[in-house]
Structures are given as C-alpha cells and as structure tokens.
Amino acid sequence: MHPSRTSGCFLPGRAESIMIKKPLVLLIALSTGFLISSCNFPYQPKQFVIPPPNYIFPSKTEMLNFIGNGGIHVKLAFTIKNSARDVYYIDYNDYNDSAFIPRKLKKPAGKENFHADSPLISPDGSFVAYYLTAGATVNGAYIQRLDTSSSPVLIDANGTEPHWWQDNTGGIYIIYSNIIFTQLGGLNQGVGQTFKRKVDLTGDGAITGPAQVLAPYPMNGGLSPDGNYLCTGYANAAFYGLFDASLIPINQNNQTCNPSTDPDTVHRGRMMFLNFSGIQNMSNTFIGNADFPDSFVLEHTVLYIVDYTNTVRDYVTLGQLNAAYGGYIEWQDPEWSNNPQFAAALGVIDDAQADGIIIKNVGDPASKKAFLKFTLGKGKLDVTSTPYIWIGK
C-alpha cells in the first residue's frame, strides 16, 4: 500500500496567509487547488487479492457429509503429470493443511523421470503402494509412507500393479504381478506370474518375507479379502481361484480396463472393470433398465461389477455421472476404495483433462449412485491420474 500523496501537498496555515498579498494569495490558492486535485484526495488504494490456487478441493465438511457415518477420516491419492507422473496425496484430517494442497511424494533416487501409476493406500491409511513405468516396461513396485520426507521401499524390481491384502491375523501383504498388460490370449501358463510379499509398516516400511508365487498368470486386480480369488483385466478378464487353481474367463472376447477387486468380506469373488466398445459377453439382468445402455455399449461408459459366475451384479454408467455434473466424455481409471461402498475414478473432460470423481453406493444395485467431484478449481487431473480414496475411522 502506497502512503497517501496528500503528505506531499503544502497547505499554508491561517496566520501565514494574513501576511501574504492578495495576488499571491490567489496564486497560492490556485496552485493549492491544483495540487489537491492532483493528489487524488482522499487516496483509496486497491487492495491486493491473492489469486485462488489452481487445485481446489471440497471442504472437510462437504467431504465428510458426502461420506456419511460421522467421525470419518478421508485420504486421497492420485498422480499428476509434471515432467513425469508423480504421486500426490491429501489428508483430510491434516489441520495444518487447511487449503488441502496436494503433497508430492519423492520418487526413488535416479528414477525421477519414470511415470508413477496406481497409488493405492494401505489398510491403515499410513502408506501408499504404486509402481513405476516407462510405457509398457516394468520399473518396479514400491510402498511409501504418506509423508513428503519419506523414502520409497522397493518391493520387486520387476513388480507392477501392487495391491494391498490383509490376512485374518492382521498381516499386511503386497499382491503384484510381473506383467503390466496381457495381450489377447496372454493368460497362458508361463507368460507371467502373480506374487505375494509380506511387509512391515512401521517407520519407513520394510519387506519382511520372500516373494511367494500365487498364480502362474499375471493377475493385476488384487486378491479378494477371503484370499480365494485373484482377478485381472485388459486383453483378457478373468478370476483365478486359488483354492482349486482354476482360471475363470470373464466377458470373453472383450477387452476390459482397470480391474479392481471388491474389498467387501461379504461378497466372494467380485471385481469392477471398465468396458471397451461392443456387445458385452456376460449374464446381465440390468439390460433394459432406464439408466442402462442397450446391449451395444460405447467404450468406457460403464463400470461393471461382475462376479466369478460372469454375472453383472451392479453398474455405474457415464450417464449417471453426467446427470449429476455433465460434460464428461468417458470414464477412466476406476479403483475400488478400502470401503466397499465407495470407489474413485476419472470423469474425462477431453484428451488431456479429467476430474477426480468419488462414487458412492458401489456394488449395491438397490441404492442410487451419488457422486462428488473433488477437483473443483482450474487444476485438473490428467487422463492417467488413477485416483484412490481411503476411508477410515
């Protein structure tokens, strides 16, 4: 703020003006009037307003009201593309971060230029698991404490698509495979494998056991809570039954995206995935519903919840999202939360931008779907940002 310019104007006092001749008085009056006018008195400077940040998120009250059930702790994880994709997180219980500015995690030393992908938060909410990639090349699966000063812990240099899994004694494991994308007909024994590795989440985290082979196939969607079913997608969607070593094809002859296992302990063997364009090959009693597409489904317009019998148990359509917000051309990157009622996904705006979307009542066909957009400002996610929401008490 500049000081008032009236401080530079000469305003003679009454006693001084008596001694001045009339012409001089007129001259002074004229000059004084000119000076007062030039000073723009009274001066009212324009206040500087700090521009809003690019990334604006729902308030804590709005977020917790949407989640419901009271006293809930919420964290978000996603990637943002800088020179390469980096992992960011937001902790809604961090009172020192009232603006909810996304915080970036450090990458492994020497791998700053590799893309990070699919950050999934641990069951206790303290860590994230993710992998690094350069195109279709695997560059390692990691876990990392949700702290900007933390260091990544390598799970496997050939690991990809890491998911968390907790056994009935509380032991924490990372489930991962060694192939990112399976090709058509790629689910053949010997093409890839799926592994389980136990970890410790104290301090900065550590590996506490050797990698164990779970399946002779690359299953990239995680392990069901009961430990019986792995799932996968992309060129081939399938379940793998660990109890009888069976491979169970799903939606045959159709490509799928972003397989994600159901975290609910009640349902056995369900996964969520995103469709490719065409007539889907599943038992589906929802065809004919007013909010469901006809038998030919446009690409990335439906999130399917399907069980090991190849039966659709629930769905979330792009039309449902657009009825709430509008303006989206497709879904991308859906991932089930640790809470079976919720998932996170991208609502794609164009080829470069997407909004982070939280979906409520996933997996329950009797409940209407609800949506919360969490990227509210100019700052958007990109179309590969793989968002995740963790919900805890």
342: exposed, middle or buried (Cβ count in 10 Å: 0-12, 13-18, 19+): buried
Distance from C-alpha of 191 to C-alpha of 216, rounded to nearest angstrom? 8
**Tokens 């279709």 map to which residue?**
136
> What pLDDT, on the 0 to 100 scale, is given for residue 188?
72
Q: If we measure between CA atoms, which residue out of 189, 184, 256, 254 comes closest to residue 220?
A: 256
Rounded Cα–Cα distance for residues 134 and 156 (Å): 16
**This prediction's pTM:** 0.86
CB 162 within 8 Å of CB 141: yes
Q: CB-based burial of residue 235 (10 Å sphere; 0-12 exposed, 13-18 middle, 19+ buried)?
A: middle
Q: How far apart are CA 359 and CA 263, in angstroms?
A: 15
pLDDT value for 232: 96
Are 243 and 284 in contact by the 8 Å Cβ rule? The answer is no
Which DSSP string do the residues of 135-159 spell out, in sequence order?
TTEEEEEEEEESSTT---EEEETT-
What span, in angstroms and rounded, lies between the C-alpha atoms of 186 and 374? 37
Alpha-carbon gap, residue 362 to 343, rounded angstroms: 7
Domain boundaries along the sequence of the chain? 1-49, 60-392
Fold entry, domain 60-392:
Neuraminidase (2.120.10)
Q: What is the pLDDT of residue 286?
A: 95
Instruction: Give me the pLDDT at residue 44, please.
Output: 61
Q: Output the pLDDT for position 211.
A: 97
Yes or no: say if 152 and 108 are a contact pair by the CB < 8 Å rule. yes
| Beta-ladder partners of 279 | 296
- Contact at 8 Å (CB) between 90 and 75? yes
pLDDT at 47: 65
pLDDT attached to residue 284: 95
Alpha-carbon distance of 3 to 250, in angstroms, equals 74
Residue 108 amino acid letter:
P
How does pLDDT run along the chain (393 residues), one tens digit per residue?
444 333 333 333 433 333 434 444 444 444 444 444 444 455 566 666 666 678 999 999 999 999 998 778 999 999 999 999 999 999 998 866 667 889 999 999 999 999 999 999 999 999 999 999 987 788 999 999 999 999 999 999 999 999 999 999 999 999 999 998 776 666 776 789 999 999 999 999 999 999 999 999 999 999 999 999 999 999 899 999 999 999 999 999 999 999 999 999 999 899 999 999 999 999 999 998 999 988 899 999 999 999 999 999 999 999 999 999 999 999 999 999 999 999 999 999 999 999 999 999 999 999 999 999 999 999 999 999 999 999 998
**What span, in angstroms and rounded, lies between the C-alpha atoms of 140 and 8?**
69
DSSP 8-state assignment for residue 324: H
Which segments of 32-84 are extended strands (E)? 73-81
Residue 294: its pLDDT value, please?
84
State the pLDDT at residue 201: 98
